[in-house]
Structure formats: C-alpha cells, structure tokens
Amino acid sequence: MNEEDRLGQDDAVTGSRPAAPDSAPAADRAGRRPGPPVIAALVAVVAVLVGLVVILSSTTRERPSVSAPARTRAGAVALVDSATIAPRPVSADQLAALPIATTFGTTANASRDPAPDQVPSGLVAHPTTTVAVFAEPGGEPVAAVPAGQPIGLAPRQSLSDTWLPVFDQRPGWALVGLPSRPNGSVAWLHIDRSIQLRVSPFLVTVDRAGFTLTLARDGARVGQWPVGTGKTGSPTPAGRTFLLAALRDTESTFSEFVLPLGAHSDTHQIYGGGPGTIGVHTWPSAAVYGEASSDGCVRVPPDALRILVGVPLGTPVLIK
C-alpha cells in the first residue's frame, strides 16, 4: 500500500475541517461551505449565517451569509404541503436499530441512484438531529442519518456536519445521496423543521477519460485542471457523489488538505484501517496528473485544491 492509501484514505479522514486558504479568489470565498441559501416553506426568507466548524488547529471560521432563493426557484422543497405523504412512524428503538448512513456504514436496503449521470439541482439537506430515511415516501425506513459525520479514526476522530445532495423531490420529501456503502445509495428524507435546506451554486465534474476536474458555479466554469484518477485495478468509481467533509492534516507529507467524498473504492474495502473512502487531494509530483495514477482517489494540483476547500459541503460531484 502506497502513502496515498495510508494517508489519503485513513489519516486523511482523521483531521478536521480546514480554514479556507487566503489565496482562494474572492468569488470563491463568498461561497464557503455550506454557503448555499436556506429554503423555507412557502415564504420568502432572509440571509442566514451558518455555524462554525472546529479545525485541527482548534481555530474556527464563520460561514458566510447568503441570500435565499425565491419560492419558485428550481430546487426548492416545500416544508408544508397538503399533498405531503406522512412518514411512517419510527420509534427511538427502531431508529437506533437502523444501519447508520456514514462513510463507515453499509446501507444494504437503500435504493441505488436512479439517474447517476444526471446533474443535480444543487439543493443540499442537513439533518439537525438523527433522522430516519425511507425506501420511498411513506415507505419502510432503511437507514438513520446522523447530524454529524464521524471523520477519521480514534483517537483523532471528529465530526463534520452532514450535508447531503438532493437528487429528486416530491412534496415534503427529498431523495438524498448517502455517504455509506454501496456506492450510489439513496433514500427518501422527510422534510420537516429538523431539516435545513440550502442551495450550493457549485458542481464538481471529474472526467476519468479526459483526466480533468472541472469546477462550475451557477453553470459557469470557475476552473479546470488535469488530475490523476484510479488505475485499472482500482478505478475511481463513476456516478453522482458529493463533498462529505474538508480536512486539514498538517502532518501529511503529500496533501495538507483532503476532501473525502461520499463514495468508496469498489476494489479496496479498507485503506490503512479506514473504510476505503474516496478523496480529493494533491500530490508532491506533477507527473501523476493527466493519467491513471492513484488507487481510486482524485489527485489534483495544489492550486485546484486551494479553491476546492472553499466549496460547500454536500456539493454534488459527478464522476464520469
């Protein structure tokens, strides 16, 4: 196992979320995670200020306020609707018995993404408490989603706010991507007052054949960079996933910042004791870019990573 696997897929998920680098362009700093707008029910809403996240150095940074979309904006989900299907009741004991949807978990009864090549709207959801997600609106519960995602291994494990991409909508419900195995797991989340909804203006696209990563904001390209992707024996998995966390590891010898995704290697079940989480990180040698050079991670140039660490959690990542 090379150093990328030991750190990129184990130690890389043992740090905590980084402060945004000062070198990122002002336009990108304005969209710091999870900067997308709040969605409220049937009313116009005002700008919000999102909380602070502890980083490895014990410093914090404030998330930005952003304006909310109009009710008619694509991606809005009504919190109250007379046609909403009520969720099936789930007791505390039943909730505790459900598989946990984290990067360490497996949600075998969750459905697979029905449209893995489709660009999502950018709507993202954050449960403020542990909630059940369901096979369909009003259907059986298939997993429990916690408010925070455990990142890393003890004793350095930390929590990162759970922000999930919304792939489809029905009145009062959102089909969300899950960070658990198997890849492409999705489930229906009932939208009530425990769920915060915002819109990320960003989309990350990884072209495995062209060895490029493209970052777009509101449909306009922010940047495109050559990248290294998984080798033949350990390919980077295709489909829709999302930015799960942003970590800083000052002890890393190859990438100070690592961005774990909500996807896993289909080849390696374990990387150095970790769950085989796919991540985005840089590499000391530029020779790795533009070719299949990793064990599944996406290796990006340092200037790309400095911008990507400012993209909101939950932002969809389309790997094709």
Q: What are the catalytic residues?
A: 281, 297
Instruction: Please answer whether residues 283 and 310 qualify as being in contact, where contact means their C-beta atoms are separated by less than 8 angstroms.
Output: no
Question: How close are the terminal C-alpha atoms of the chain, in Å?
Answer: 26
**What's the rounded Cα separation, in Å, for the pair 31 and 26?**
9
Q: Give the integer Cα–Cα distance in Å for 210 and 291.
A: 9
For residue 76, the number of C-alpha atoms closer than 13 Å in the C-beta half-sphere is 19
User: Does residue 259 sit in helix, strand or coil?
Assistant: strand
Tell me the one-letter amino acid at 293.
Answer: S
Q: CA quadruple 212, 10, 317, 159: dihedral positive or negative? A: negative
**Which of 291, 286, 264 has its CA nearest to residue 275?**
264
What is the residue whose two structure tokens read 């002002």? Answer: 26
Neighbour-count burial for 185-196, b at 16+ CB within 10 Å, e otherwise: bbbbbbbeeebb
**Coil, helix or strand at residue 7:** helix
CA distances from 28 to 18, 32, 222, 286 (A): 15, 7, 9, 24
Half-sphere exposure of 39 (CA within 13 A, CB side): 28
